Amino acid sequence: MSFINSFSIWFIPFLIGFILLYGTYKKVPTYEAFVEGGKEGFSLAVSMIPYLVGMLVSISVFRASGALDLLLDFGKPLFDWLHVPGEVVPLGLMRTISGSGALGMTSDLIASHGPDSFIGRLASTIQGSTDTTFYVLTVYFGAVGIRKMGYALKVGLLADLVGFIASIVVVSLVFS
C-alpha cells in the first residue's frame, strides 16, 4: 500500500523533471516552448464553457426535480428480477452522468455498508472502472468545437452498461 501511495506521489515530479531534462538535452528552448504551448490552454478552456453549461444544466434539472429517483423506482422490479443489488443501481446511473455525484454516492455506500462489505467493494469497483461519459464527451468535444457527435454517445453509454454488469459479475465471483 505504501508503495502504491508513494508511487503516485513521486510519479508527477519524476515525469515533469524527465520532460524538462530531456528537452534541455535535446536543446529545446524549454521556457519558450512551455509558454508557447501553454497559451492554447486558455482558449481551449473558454471554448468548452457553452457545452458544459448546456450539459450540466440539463443533468441537474433531471436530478433536482426528482425525475432520476422516479426512474429508479420505476425500474426497481426489473433490477430485482435481474438480481442486481438495489443499493448500487442509482450509483450505476449516476456514474454515467455526473462524476462528483457518483463519488458522493460511493462514499455514502462505503460509509453505510462498510468498505470491506460486498456492497462497499462493489461500489468501489463501479466507481473505479468507468469514467463519466457525459463529462468526457462534453469536455473533449466541447474544447475543440465538435457539435455532431455521430455514434460517440451510443458507444459511451453501452460501454458504461457493460462496465456496470462486469463489475457486479466480477465482484460476485471474487468476493462471495
Interface with another protein in residues 55-94 (CB under 8 A): 55-67, 70
Residue range at the interface with another protein (CB under 8 A); choices 9-17, 77-85, 86-94: 9-17
Contacting residue, 6, 16, 80, 82, with another protein by CB under 8 A: 16
Interface with another protein includes 6 (CB under 8 A)? no
Interface with another protein includes 103 (CB under 8 A)? yes
> Taking the mean position of all CA atoms in its chain, how far away is CA 128?
8
Interface with another protein includes 35 (CB under 8 A)? yes
Interface with another protein includes 140 (CB under 8 A)? yes
Question: Long-range pairs for 42-50 at CB < 8 Å and ≥24 separation?
Answer: 44/143, 44/144, 45/143, 47/142, 47/143, 47/144, 47/145, 48/138, 48/139, 48/142, 48/143, 49/142, 50/142
Interface with another protein includes 175 (CB under 8 A)? yes
Interface with another protein includes 118 (CB under 8 A)? no
39-65 as b/e: b if 16+ CB within 10 A: eeeeeeeeebeebeeebeeebeeeeee
Give the nearer residue to another protein in terms of CB position, either 49 or 82.
49
Interface with another protein includes 159 (CB under 8 A)? yes
Interface with another protein includes 17 (CB under 8 A)? no
Q: Dig out the grid coordinates for 176 from the structure.
A: 462471495
Torsion over CA: 119, 123, 129, 133 (sign): positive
Residue range at the interface with another protein (CB under 8 A); choices 75-83, 86-94, 124-132: 124-132
